[in-house]
Amino acid sequence: MYGILARSPGGATTRLEDIRFRARENALEDNLRHWLFEEFRDRIAVSSSFGTESAVLLHLMARIDRDVPVLFVDTGKLFPETLAYRDLLVDRLRLTNVRAVAPEDTDVSREDPDGTLWSSSHDACCALRKVRPYQQAIRQFDALITGRKRVHGAARSDLDLVNVTNGQFRINPLFDWSAEKIGNYLDNFGLPRHPLIAHGYTSIGCKHCTAKPDGGNSRSGRWSGSGKTECGIHLSTGWVSLRT
| Closest C-alpha among 58, 79, 76 to residue 199 | 79
CA–CA distance, 232 with 46 (Å, rounded to integer): 17
| Closest C-alpha among 121, 49, 109, 110 to residue 78 | 49
Which residue ranges are tagged as binding site?
Answer: 125-126, 206, 209
Among residues 231, 233, 234, 241, the one annotated as catalytic is 231
CA–CA distance, 197 with 199 (Å, rounded to integer): 5
Which residue ranges are tagged as binding site for [4Fe-4S] cluster?
Answer: 125-126, 206, 209
The reply to whether 139 belongs to the active site is no
Cβ–Cβ under 8 Å, residues 169 and 19? yes
| Non-local CB neighbours of 167 within 8 Å, separated by 6+ positions | 11, 12, 240, 241, 242, 244
Catalytic residue numbers, as ranges? 231
